[in-house]
Each structure stands twice: as C-alpha cells, then as structure tokens.
Chains A and B, each alone.
Chain A
Amino acid sequence: MAAVKRLKRVAAAQPGFISFKSSAGSDDLNSGQRKRVNKNKKKNWNKHSDIQDVEEFLDDVRLQERATGGLISEKPDDSLFFVDIGEQRKYVQPEVQEGKKGKKSKSRPLRIDLILQHDSLVPPPKDILAHQQPNAKKLRRIAENAAKLAAMGVLPRRQKRLLNRRPAITASKSKTAANNFPDRPYYDLWGGDAKETADPYYLEQTGKKRVKRPEKLNSKPSVLPAVEVIAPGGSYNPDFFSHQALLLEAHEVEVKRERAELRIERQLAVNRDDTATEETVFQELVEGLVEEEEDEDEEEEDVSIRGGLQQEKKTEKERRRERADKIKSQQKQAARVFTDKKQQLFQLRSIQATLKRGEQQTRERVAQRKANQEAEKSMPRRLGRLRFQAQDLEVQLSDEIPGSLRTLKPEGSVLKDRFKSMQKRNMIEPRERAKFKRRHKVKYVEKRAFREIT
C-alpha cells in the first residue's frame, strides 16, 4: 500500500502527468455525500476508504508501461511525435512486406503462438534465484571431489557408461541432394573397399546384396571411338589438298542424295505410252464389236487331240517294249558312268585343279564374311523403326574459309554431333520428335467486338 501511495504522490506532484482515463477521477470527486465510518479499525480502513482512483491510476501506469515501455510524460518529444512526410511511410512498408514474404515461404508462426507471445514492453523481472545457488557448499564439495578423482584418473560411472555405449548409426535419413547440385562433394570412389562384414546368406535373403553385373554388359556396343576427329580438311585454315578432299567427299554425299531424289521422281513420272491417244480411244470404243473367229477354232482342235491320245489304253506288247527300252537305257547309263569313272583316272589333274579352286573360293568367302562381320561392328545397327541417318558433313566452302581465328564462323553444332555419335555407336536408338496431332479441329470465331470494328 505504501508503495502505491508513494507512486500516487509522485505522479500527482508532476505537473505534466496526463492520465489515459481522465474522466474517471473527475467523476469520483463530484460524487455526493460521504459515508461516515469509524476509522479506528483496520477493517474499516480497507472497507470504506475509496481506493478506486488509486487503482485506476496504477492501472493506467501499468498500461502505459506495457504499451510504450515507460510513462508517456517522461518520454522525450521526438519519440512521441514525428513530422509527417508522405514518403517515409513508403520506406517502411516494403521492409515489412519482405519480411512477411520471406517468412511465409519458410514457416509462418501459428496463430495460437502469436496469442501466447509476450507482448509487453516491460522487461520481465529478474530472477534473483538464478544467481543464487542452493546447496552451493555441497556442490562445491562434489566438484572438488570430482576434480580430485579426475586427477587420479578415475572416471565417474556415468561417463564410463557413455564411453561403453555403441556409437549410434549416424546416417539417419539425411536428405539426398540432387545429382546436379553444383557444390556437391566427391570422394574416392575406388578407394579402400569397405568389406562386407555381415553374413552373405543373410544379405542375399534380405535382398541387400547387390546383383553382380554381367561381364558382357561392360563391352561397348560399337568399336567406334567416342570422339571422332574431323578430317584434316576441316581445319579452320586448311591445307589446300585436304580441303579439296573433304569437299569432294561432301560433294559425293550430296550427289548421292540428289540421285536418290531423282530416282523417286523418275518412278513417279507418267509413262508416255500409258496416256490415251485418239487411236487407243477408238480401239476401246470398238472393242467387242469385231469378232476374231479363226484363233478360237484352232485352240479347240488342239485340246481335243491331246485329250484323245491320253485316254487310249496301252497294249501288252507296247508295255513289254517299253520295259525293255527302259532296261536298255539304264544299262547304257551304267556303262557310261563306268567309262566316265575310268576316264577320270586320266583327268586327275584337272579334278584336283577344280577342287583347289573350290577350296580357294570357300576360303575367300570365309575371309570376306569375317571382314564383313568386322566392318559391321563399327556400323550403326537398325535398332528401331528408323534407320540411323548420318549428320551432314561440316564443310566450309573455299570462299568461306576465314583468314584468321577471329573471323572464324563455326560450322555445325557440337550438340548434334554428340547426339549423332551416340546413335552411331548404338547407345541410343534413332527416334524422331513426336508430331503434334490435333484431335479436334480448331474453330475460329470472330469476336463480336472485333467484328464491329471491321
């Protein structure tokens, strides 16, 4: 109570004190009659003395302290008032917004937390107990004891237990950074192999064991080198003859392409003989009106003769003769073969020669096949719907050759070169870009506003 009274006195003594609720005090003063009570008892003091104004005053003081961090009357004028210049406000706003934006994207505090937040400007009272330790003497003694033990090399039990504990597995759900993270760390991948300590059977059964990569997969699908160096004619400042050689090569490619185009054109061209002339048109009109009788008659006769012959039966005599003829011819044939064989004895040389020739041929074929197979290893295979199509040769014409490095205009695209090289080495199959197909027809409608103008 005494403190309250003192405060009131102090505040009242100050001339510049402005109360937040000025009306409350005046009401109290103007209230009518006073009640008379004995003031010799402490109970009555509490009951009947009017402390409303004091409490209101104190409330006001607390409110001021909470809201502004001190009594307003004590504050300097600069902190209370400011000169209103329009622009200054603008400076403040973006800062706030930025802060908000940044926070919003990271973590906005929950509303409940905001409500519970301490928003008074009055600093919390210092906790005196924080600086005073209970049982300080005991603690000191314990510390001294521990120091003595440590000097002797005896570890406390808790520490011992800590040391004995197995190290926890540190890899606890660490986020995997993206593979293209520019700062990503690398390590010695082929360094000391971490040996598998666990039971191989266990690993296999639980699916933790890596399946061994088949050896065959490590062979490359083509023998071509990864980077094929351009021909010497492709130098930025080429030697005359190598440049001409490259031009010739490019020229041949182009000629071949043109020939293919021409061939298609030729195939598509209309044949002169197929077009109708007056003569053929007339022929068509007359078709069927004039009969050709002679041909038909002859054909009929032929058919009848043949049929008649086949149907006649052979006589016994004929059969006998036939059989005899057959046997005779067989004998003749056998005799022929026999003499031939005899004769072959004298042909030994030529036979040997033919045999040799045959062998030579097979050998050549084998070699050819082998060579073809070798060549095929460096050829692009047919891996899908499309065939591999080589890139256009990069060539600069004679008048395009730059005089110096500064004026060089690079030809072709390295990206395309890489892409085609991969296709050529059978690493990816040639594909074409999917064509955009519109499902429904687009309907064009002129908007009314637009139509009005036009």
Chain B
Amino acid sequence: MGGLQKKKYERGSATNYITRNKARKKLQLSLADFRRLCILKGIYPHEPKHKKKVNKGSTAPRTFYLFKDIRFLLHEPIVRKFREYKVFVRKLRKAYGKAEWTGVERLRDNKPGYKLDHIIKERYPTFIDALRDIDDALSMCFLFSTFARTGKCHVQTITLCRRLTVEWMNYVVTSRSLRKVFLSIKGIYYQAEVLGQLITWLVPYQFAHDHPTDVDYRVMATFTEMYTTLFGFINFRLYQTLNLVYPPKVTQYLDLTFSCAQQKLSALSASLARVVATAEEEENQLDLFPTEGEDQENMQAREKEQKEQEAQKRLFEGLKFFLNREVPRESLAFILRCFGAEVSWDKSLCIGGTYEVTDETITHQIVDRPDMDKQYINRYYIQPQWVFDSVNAQMRLPVEDYFLGTTLPPHLSPFVEEKDGDYVPPEKLKLMALQRGEKPVQEDEEEEDEEEEEEDDDEEEDDDVDDEELTEEKNLKKLEGTRAQGKTLAVKVTPGKVKPWETGSVGNKVRLEQEEKAEEKRLAIMMMKKKEKYLYDKIMFGKKRTTREVSSLRCAPAKPTRPSLRPFACRWR
C-alpha cells in the first residue's frame, strides 16, 4: 500500500485554531499588547467544538483563537506601532537609568502614537452599523466620565469621555429623541430613538463609586479608547444630520474658551448653534401616496403613531421648572430639556441657571425634602419621580400623588412589556386607564375634572393659569384637610356619573368596533378544524389559569404601601 501515513492533528479543527500564546508569539507582541490589539480589532476568543482535538490530545483548558483571525491581524499596521512603542519604552528606561535627561526629553518628543480611525472605518463600514453598536460606547463613556481623578485611569480619558457624553446629551436634547427612563438601584437607564435605532444606556449615579478590585482596568481603558474614537465620529455625523455646529457651541456664547464653553454645554440649559440659522424645524410630514385597502390602514396607523410621538416630544413644552439643590441636577435637566421644558437651578449649584427661584412664572419646582420653609403659591412643589414617571407614561401625570412629603407611588420599569394574562401591577393598570383618557375614580370628581381640563389645553394665558392654579391649590388644601380628619367623610352623596360609552358618539364608535371584533373572533373560532380547536382550547385554558392565579394574587394580600416585611432576608457579600 502506497501513500504516506496520515499524522494526527495536521488537518481539520486542529489547524483551524491557534492558542493564545502561539498567536502572541506569531505576532511578536506581549500579552498586554496582544489583548489590546484583539479588543481594538474586534477579534474575540472562540470556543472550539472538540477541545481535545484542537488541543492536540490534551484536555488542559486554554484560550483559542481562530487561525484565520490571527492571520488577518498580521496585516494590521498598528502592530508595528505597538512594537515601536515597546522599543521606545526600552530606550526611555535606559536613558533614565543613565540619567541622560536630554536623551529622555528627545525620546519623549518623539513618542510613537497610533490612530484608530481606519479600524473604526473597517469595523463599521457604514454609519448605521456604528450607530447600532453604540450602546456599549455610551455606557462606558458615561461610566468613565464619572470617575474621580485618581490614578485608576488617565485624566485625559476622563475629560474626553465627559466631553463626548455632554455632546451626546446635547444631541438628544436637540433632537428630542429620548423615550424611556428608569431609575434603578444600579444607575439610571435611558432609552432613546436615534435615526430609527433604539439605543439604551446606563448612567451611574454621581459619587457612587467604590473601585472594585476584580476588574481589569487596563482592558476597560482599551475598550474606552476604542469607544471614544467611535463615539466622536458618530457624534460628528449626528450633529451634521441636525445641521448643528461641531464641536457644539452654545448660541449665546459663541466665543468662549474651550473649558468655559464646555461647562456651559454641560449645564444643558442653552440651545446649540446651528450651521445655517433656521427659525425652527419645520414639521416633517409623511409623504402621502394614494394607497388602497390594507396599505391605507397601515398608513393611518403610522400617521397616528407619528402624531403620538410628536405629542410626546412636546410633553413639557411651556412649563418652567426650577430644580432644588438636593435633586440630581444633570439627569433632570437632561430629561426636562428633552421634552421642551425650561429649566433653571440655583446659581451656586452650577453654571448655566437661567432664572432665579423668585421668578413668578415658574410652574413646577422639583423638591426632594420633607418640607419647604418658603413656598410660592403659584407653582407646584413636586418630587423628582413625577418627571420620570410622566416621561414613561408619555403624558403629564396628575401632580397630587407626587406632592411634597407624600408617599410616592412605585416607580415602574418602562422596559417590561406584559403579555396579556401576566400579572400587571395595579399602579400600571391605573396608568393605562389614564392614558386611555379615562378618569380615575376618586372621591372628588370636580377637582379631577379641572385637572384634566388644565392638562388638555396648553395654550392658556398666564393669568388664567395662575387663577386656576390658585383655586386648585385651595381645593387641594381643603381636600387634604378632609383627609386628615379621617375617612368619615367618605359617605357622601355624589351626582350620578354617566358612563362614557352611553353618551358621546366617540364612546359609541369604540363600542361598535369592539363588538365587531368580538364577532369576528367568534366566527373564526367556529371555522376552526377539530385539531386546531383542540389546540386553541388548550391555549385558552392555560391563559385562563394564569389569569386566575394572577387575580388571586391581586386580591389576596392587603398590600402594604411600603413593604416592610423581610420574607427573604439574606445578606449579600
């Protein structure tokens, strides 16, 4: 029999993979440099299917890379820069050792550097690709910008991250693209819709850092280096799409030094300068095409959606807020400005406050303390949660639940989407009812009505608003008084309320629609095959069971407003 004997591990998966150490040697880099290169180029380790085959019979756990990836890395021009840097460090150390200070100086002047632009272009060939991957960059930059200037990372990096995040926030404010906010115990989650992409990011609370020891700072710094480059280019492009000047400039202060302008920008209270000074953004309308049947329905739905979005963007328009010093200024200013409100704060708190506390036109003051000494009669004193909840509910919620010193309703996560049949918290049910336009059933109907009216029309004259608010304030005081007296007044003759669907034509329409739908469904069920019917019945049974459980859950406990029991008490390390 002719032919050579086949040797083991010379073909197949054994040759498709390469261990980390071998790859490192092939590239002639140190481990730190190799890791940096892999992160920058977006090359990740790979777990082979048959480890023993790849590992040449050994079962020792190793890190493997695909051989082709490493071969691709060989062509990277940055590799040479890394080697140059290695040599530079060696020379510098030598010069230091010999105390050749002029030599040190000369070497420092010629320190080799590298650019990441071409890598970004290579990894994200189009702008949208980059935008899709920005979540990580955002979270990382926001995180780094809150770091203290200790030796954990380079101060310049922190400054750059701060600059980029401020630019981003200004962009979101100008484009009004914020959608959701969630205050968690970890940090604040934001979601924005930028050019059709949903972008989620996490911002840590200020001063919340203890530096964990089991995190590799070098790796994080490398990621940040890549992300800052990416983020900057994205910012540039985004500013371009809005016709804004980049680097951003505040309209009032076009000629300022860098650091000063940066501070003004980070205050988020002023609008940005545009390349072409236009009056206001014209309403962008959907192009209308003659369509038929289903398309038309889709079109209508889309139009409706867009209208809703437009309304949401103007959520706080015309309101004037004042932030007390104990509330998180930056996040609140960011959110309020995103929805068109005017914001100001104490002069000693931060630069950029536009008006004083004493301003009579302030409509809301955001407070987070048990009570205030001096209160103005013509403004609401509300707790910060109102802002976040209103943004998530896409409407201005009634303020009385959030007044100074009241116990707040729970802050629900906007990122949860309940399927029908799941347990929905009662607060959310109430909220959904509010969104549908139903009035919450409460003791005093009149006040609610007034509230609704007040919310509905935005373009009221200032005087009217003041008057109304005055009366409302009184009414509310009265209400509180009655509440304080106890629940004895609950027995009260109230005028009978007419159900909405029996009166208005709108209600009728809704009801008709519903009936039609129900009928359609019933017919469809009748038309089912036996087999499908069986399946359908099974599904419905399961659904019913869950709803039964949920309903039992809902009515069973007399729920305490502030849960104080500790059913699962265990300590965390």
With both beta carbons as reference points, the residue of chain B lying nearest to A422 in the complex is identified as B223
Of the listed stretches A27-35, A175-183, A316-324, chain B binds A175-183
Q: How far is the CA of A408 from the CA of B415 in the complex (A)?
A: 21
Contact bitstring A376-420, B, C-beta under 8 A = 1, else 0: 000001111100000010111111010111101011111111110
The reply to whether A418 and B115 form a contact with Cβ atoms under 8 Å apart is no
Q: Are A211 and B185 in contact (CB under 8 A)?
A: no
Complex Cα distance, B559 from A398, in Å, reads 14
Q: Is the CB of B63 within 8 A of A230?
A: no
Q: Would you call B120 and A428 a contact (CB within 8 A)?
A: no
A213 interfacial contact with B, CB 8 Å = yes
State whether B572 touches A395 (Cβ < 8 A).
yes
Q: Inside 8 A of A429's CB, which chain B residues have their CB?
A: 45, 63
With A210-B118, A225-B200, A229-B415 already in contact, the answer to whether A234 and B216 are too (CB < 8 A) is no
Known: A187-B236, A235-B182. A399 touches B408 (CB 8 A): no
Q: Is A227 among interface residues, defined by CB-CB distance under 8 A?
A: yes
Digit string of A171-204 for contact with B (CB within 8 Å is 1, else 0)?
0000111111111101111100000000000000
Q: Which residues of B contact A334 (CB under 8 A)?
A: none
Note all chain B residues with C-beta closer than 8 A to A186: 232-233, 235-236, 246
Within 8 A of A (CB), among B86-145: 113-118, 120-123, 126-127, 129-130, 133, 135-136, 139-140, 143
Residues of chain B contacted by A221 (CB below 8 angstroms): 44, 46
A184 near B122: Cβ-Cβ < 8 Å: no
Task: Give Cα A227 to B192, complex, Å.
Answer: 13
Q: Is B423 positioned at the interface, with any CB of A under 8 Å from its CB?
A: yes
- Residues from chain B with a CB closer than 8 A to the CB of A417 are 186, 202
Instruction: Identify the closest chain A residue to B202 (Cβ).
Output: A227
Q: Are B45 and A226 in contact (CB under 8 A)?
A: no
Tell me whether A218 is interfacial, beta carbon within 8 Å: yes
**Cross-chain contact A405 with B569 (CB below 8 angstroms):** no
Q: Is the CB of A234 within 8 A of B228?
A: no
A450 contacts B by Cβ under 8 Å: no
Do B200 and A418 have beta carbons less than 8 Å apart?
no
Measured CB to CB, the nearest residue on chain A to B121 is A189
Task: Determine the residue in chain B with the shortest Cβ distance to A431.
Answer: B216
Instruction: Verify B410–A384 contact, CB threshold 8 A.
Output: no
Chain B residues, Cβ within 8 Å of A250: 568, 570, 572
Contact indicator per residue, chain B 239-282, by CB within 8 Å of chain A (1) or not (0):
01000001000000000001000000000000000000000000
Residues of B with C-beta under 8 A to A189: 117, 120-121, 233, 236-237
Are B185 and A236 touching (Cβ within 8 A)?
yes
Residues of B within 8 A of A399 (CB): 564, 566
Q: A411-B186, A414-B143, A418-B140 are in contact. Are A238 and B410 (CB under 8 A)?
A: yes
Contact A433 B44 (CB under 8 A): no
Task: Check if A240 sits within 8 Å of B204, measured CB to CB.
Answer: no
Residue on A nearest B114 in the bound complex, by CB? A176
- Residue of B69, B185, B201, B212 with most chain A CB atoms under a 10 A cut-off: B185
Residues of A within 8 A of B235 (CB): 186
B413 partner, pick from A175, A235, A383, A413, beta carbons under 8 A? A235
Q: In this assembly, does B565 line the interface, its C-beta being within 8 Å of a C-beta of chain A? A: yes
Q: B281 to chain A: closest CB distance in Å?
A: 22
C-alpha gap A202/B528 in the complex (Å): 70
Count of A-B contacts judged by CB separation below 8 Å:
263
Give the number of chain A interface residues (Cβ < 8 Å).
81
A117 to B117, CA, bound (A): 48
B385 to chain A, nearest CB (A): 7
How would residues 212 to 224 of chain B score, 1 for a CB under 8 Å from any chain A CB and 0 otherwise? 1111100110010
Find chain A residues with CB under 8 A from B434 CB.
none
At the interface with chain B, which of A88-96, A139-147, A241-249, A354-362?
A241-249
Residues of B within 8 A of A187 (CB): 233, 236
- What CA separation (Å) do A236 and B186 show in the bound complex? 9
B72 and A211 contacting across the interface, CB-CB below 8 Å: yes
The reply to whether B44 and A427 form a contact with Cβ atoms under 8 Å apart is yes
B369 close to chain A: CB less than 8 A: yes
Determine if B383 is an interface residue (Cβ-Cβ < 8 Å): yes
A46 CA to B220 CA, complexed, in Å: 90
Give the chain A neighbours of B45 by CB distance below 8 A: 383-384, 426, 428-429
Dominant secondary structure of chain B at its interface with chain A: loop
B184–A235 CB distance below 8 A = yes
List B residues 377-423 near A (Cβ within 8 Å).
383-385, 407-408, 410-413, 415-416, 423
Tell me whether A128 is interfacial, beta carbon within 8 Å. Answer: no
Q: Considering the complex, give the chain B residue whose CB is closest to the CB of A240.
A: B563
Name B258's contact: one of A183, A392, A411 (CB within 8 Å). Answer: A183
Report the nearest B residue to A393, measured CB to CB.
B572
Contact residues, A235-276 vs B (CB, 8 A): 235-244, 247-248, 250-251, 254
Query: How many Å lie between the Cα of A248 and that of B569 in the bound state?
Result: 10
A248-B568, A412-B186, A414-B143 known; A188 vs B240 contact (CB < 8 Å)? yes
State A117–B139 Cα separation when bound (angstroms). 59
> Of the candidates A217, A226, A247, which one forms a contact with B72 in the assembled complex, judged by CB atoms under 8 Å apart?
A217
Q: Which residues of A contact B225 (CB under 8 A)?
A: 179-180
Is B465 part of the binding interface, using a Cβ–Cβ cutoff of 8 Å? Answer: no
CA distance in complex: A426, B133 (Å): 16
- Measured CB to CB, the closest approach of chain A to B349, in angstroms, equals 14
Enumerate chain A residues within 8 angstroms of B440, measured Cβ to Cβ: none
Q: B185 and A234: CB pair below 8 A? A: yes
**Does A69 sit within 8 A of B, measured CB to CB?**
no
Please measure, in the bound complex, the distance between the C-alpha atom of A210 and the C-alpha atom of B202, giving whole angstroms: 36
Which residues on A sit within 8 Å (CB–CB) of B127? Answer: 190
A214 within 8 A of B: yes
Q: Once the chains bind, are A384 and B61 in contact (CB under 8 Å)?
A: yes
A25 contacts chain B at the CB level, 8 A cutoff: no
Known contacts A254-B570, A433-B214, A414 near B563 by CB under 8 Å? no
Closest approach, in angstroms, between the C-beta of A332 and any C-beta of chain B? 45
**Nearest CB on A from B89, distance (A):** 15
- Give Cα distance in the complex from A390 to B259, angstroms: 41
Q: Does A232 count as interface, using CB distance less than 8 angstroms?
A: yes
11 residue pairs bridging A and B, Cβ less than 8 Å apart: A182-B163, A190-B127, A190-B130, A190-B233, A218-B129, A234-B185, A239-B427, A395-B572, A413-B211, A426-B47, A428-B39
Residues of B within 8 A of A (CB): 35, 39, 42-47, 61-63, 68-69, 72, 75, 113-118, 120-123, 126-127, 129-130, 133, 135-136, 139-140, 143, 154, 156-157, 159-160, 163, 182-187, 189, 200-202, 204-205, 208-216, 219-220, 223, 225, 228-229, 232-233, 235-237, 240, 246, 258, 326-328, 368-369, 383-385, 407-408, 410-413, 415-416, 423, 425, 427-428, 553, 559-560, 562-570, 572-573
12 new A-B contacts, CB < 8 A, other than A236-B185, A410-B185, are A182-B159, A186-B233, A188-B233, A190-B233, A230-B182, A254-B572, A405-B368, A405-B385, A410-B186, A418-B139, A418-B220, A429-B45
